[in-house]
Each structure stands twice: as structure tokens, then as C-alpha cells.
């Protein structure tokens, strides 16, 4: 078992320095947001349709509630993140 000696003069900013980080162009960010929103739209639409076909199913009722409570606010969060209010 090896242990690393502690050095109080160790500069972690130089060890873990990131020169550029992740750089995304605006077009790529919009494409990524569109892909997320389309996939969530398809998932939600599929659950809505399945719930409409069998509203008495307990599983469909729970999935419908999950989408209504969880996914729809998530969609608005994604939209507000990628399209902030510009002043």
C-alpha cells in the first residue's frame, strides 16, 4: 500500500489546470438542445398515447403522472437554459 506524502506547497491549480475547457459553438448547442427536446417530446407523446389507449392501467397512470410532474418541468428548464432572456 503506497501513500502519497502531503506537501503544503503543492499547487493543485497547476496540476489540474484546464487551458480551454469544453468549447461548443452556438450552432452545436442549439442542435444538442433540439435533440434533447425532440427525444423528450417523443417520449412524452408515446406515454400520452399509451395512457389514452388504456387509462385504467395502473402502470400507465403512474407513467402519465411522472411525465406530468417530472418531464414537462424538465423540458421548460432545458428551454430556459438554452434560450435565456436577453436584455
Higher local confidence (pLDDT), 87 or 53:
53
Cα separation, 79 vs 47, in Å, equals 21
Q: What is the pLDDT of residue 70?
A: 85
Longest Cα pair distance anywhere in the chain, in angstroms? Answer: 67
Q: What is the pLDDT of residue 24?
A: 72
Cα separation, 42 vs 55, in Å, equals 19
Nearest to 82 by CA among 44, 21, 39, 31: 31
Q: What is the pLDDT of residue 56?
A: 92
What pLDDT digit, counting tens, does each position of 5-55 carry?
A: 566 677 766 666 666 666 778 788 888 888 888 888 898 899 889 989 998
| Average confidence (pLDDT) over 53-76 | 87
Amino acid at each position: 500500500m503506497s501513500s502519497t506524502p502531503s506537501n503544503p506547497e503543492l499547487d493543485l491549480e497547476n496540476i489540474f489546470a484546464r487551458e480551454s475547457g469544453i468549447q461548443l459553438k452556438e450552432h452545436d448547442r442549439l442542435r444538442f438542445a433540439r435533440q434533447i427536446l425532440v427525444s423528450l417530446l417523443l417520449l412524452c407523446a408515446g406515454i400520452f398515447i399509451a395512457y389514452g389507449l388504456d387509462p385504467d392501467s395502473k402502470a400507465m397512470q403512474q407513467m402519465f403522472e411522472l411525465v406530468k410532474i417530472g418531464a414537462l418541468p424538465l423540458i421548460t428548464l432545458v428551454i430556459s437554459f438554452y434560450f435565456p432572456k436577453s436584455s
